[in-house]
Chain A
Amino acid sequence: MRSDKQNSTPMGLKIAAGIGLAFLHLPILLIFLYAFTTEEKSYQFPPPGLTLKWFAVTWNRPDVWEALGLSVRVASISTVIALTLGTLCAAAISQTKFFGREAISLLVILPIALPGIITGISLRSAFNLAEIPFSFWTIVLGHATFCVVVVYNNAVARFRRMSGSLIEASMDLGADGFQTFRHVILPNIGTALLAGGMLAFALSFDEVIVTTFTAGQQATLPIWMLEELVRPRQRPVTNVVAMVVVLVTFLPILAAYHLTRDGDQISGQGK
């Protein structure tokens, strides 16, 4: 049968794919496994015993809470900045035509294509030149540079799918700019903004490189983990935190994927 033939894949290819996937994901499972180990100084395999005590230990470590709090605050504020600037920028790029539009579009996307270390170094030297002391806000600024891109990309894709005459129709029916934004634009780009916002949050939450250059004495959660790895004290605590980070970043990305997957049809097209 023809369809059977098409579906049958050579065994070798199946095995290769399996090995590839295992290589990608087994190390993550190992991280999870060592969160339960009884041995705290080195990672030996198999773990000598399993325990839940590291969850309690982690819960009682103030430095973990401090780092988590900082990360959440940085990610939240970066996301808010990204949502505002990203949406405005996407609206300008997709709804109007002006000289240098493509160039500006490229410049907005550039920070995510640029290596983080370049962004980090350039921001650091810029802060130094401007004599801005490193603080919570310098971290936020650093994160906002790439968070804007994610929101912008999501919003611009949705704006492109939205028929331009929807906005004119709303104005034609008596709505001013603000009313049109509230009643027509926001409902149509809402899910794209939510998805972009969650991706931005996740990106900011696990960012290391730019943060290393723009943070002063403060440590966000990923920085804290990096520092923790070189100190062999209560090592499984890092693994517990790693599990939390995976959950906190994975869930929004999954949700964002589901939100943007639907709605491929062009909204407002009548034909």
Chain B
Amino acid sequence: MPYAVSFQQVSRHFGSVRAVDAVDLEIEPGEFFAMLGPSGSGKTTCLRLIAGFEQPTSGHIEIFGETAEGVPPYRRNVNTVFQDYALFPHLNVADNVAYGLMIRGVGKAERTREAEAALEMVKLPGYGARKPGQLSGGQRQRVALARALVNKPKVLLLDEPLGALDLKLREQMQEELKVLQKALGITFVFVTHDQGEALSMADRIAVFNDGRIMQTGTPEEIYRRPKTRFVADFVGSSNVLSPQLTEKLAGVAEWSSLRPEDIRLVTDGGHEATVTGTSFLGSATRLTLDVAGEKINVLLPSGTRVPAQGEGVRFSWNSDALHLMGAKA
């Protein structure tokens, strides 16, 4: 079985800007794949390369085994949920959803039926007669989803689809998207800058920076075993320790990452540090420690005694929590 999407050394340059730079990527059929990265990291350009809105400067793209370069967006079996939803303002919700079917020449009765079924799937039955302007942000998002899914795409692309929603709605949509994806078995490719969203939703994540993929793996791998300083810092704000400090603490001169929640304070043994700051987060308290001139964050579970600023403490961690990333990460 071919990959749903595969990139071989794909680059997309805009003048001297290397938006996407020699990217290799394989997405399995039926996978929920997240492209994670800060803005300008090339993740959206990668999505647009799959959709066909951009053509690669060099390299080779295949979608389900078929060459994609040179194929216009309207001849790809791929649909997109746009960041601003891009609903057609002059059409009502039903006609928006049925647009792809109308273009393909599906009869009026059938497309009305399919559009209604798609609206039901996104929990908006009976909204067909409304205009997009009369819907809330969350409802527009669902219409955009229905409009894409009604075409039964092989790959569904989602460009930061939850970015404009408030926190509560976003969590609800994350859950629904996951359920929908598992039920339909369609490959979802999801672009986001929110690491929490990527970790909770995706089967696999590619972390982007400066047009390159830094690491690809399951959420667990990305979180527990970051390969580079960038990944460690961007995914879950881990402590990144310099080779000097790592040598002092663990005896190996390599970059390493140590998660704040993996560190505990001990009464004897461990290493010495000075508390330079505390902040109360609700479920936990974050301590900032100074260890030989470097800053280390520690998450203290609520209920433990919080040391005062300037106090000397000792800290330790489980032996497997310190993750080494090599001398030149």
Contacts and interface: CB of A to CB of B under 8 A. Distances in A.
Given A168-B73, A271-B137, A174 B86 contact: no
B89 A267 contact: yes
Contacts, number: 84
Contact of B74 (A165, A174, A268, A270): A174
Interface in A78-107: none
A268 B151 contact: no
A269 B135 CA distance: 12
B129 interface: no
Interface string B234-267: 0000000000000000000000000000000000
Contact of B51 (A163, A172, A271): A172
Contacts of B86: 163, 165-166, 168-169, 268, 270
Interface string B78-105: 1110111111111000000001101110
A170 interface: yes
Interface string B122-141: 00000000001100010011
B103 A163 contact: no
A268 B90 CA distance: 9
B72 A271 contact: no
Contacts of A183: 99, 102-103
B43 interface: no
Nearest to A172: B80
B84 A269 contact: yes
Contacts of B164: 270-271
A170 B83 CA distance: 15
Interface size bracket, A side: 20 to 34
B147 A187 contact: no
Contact of B73 (A172, A179, A265): A172
A236 to B, nearest CB: 49
A166 B147 CA distance: 13
A175 interface: yes
Given A172-B79, A187-B90, A188-B90, A271 B103 contact: no
Contacts of B280: none
Interface of A: 163, 165-166, 168-176, 179, 183-184, 187-188, 265, 267-271
Given A168-B82, A174-B104, A183-B103, 7 more contacts: A165-B83, A172-B148, A173-B148, A183-B99, A183-B102, A268-B84, A268-B86
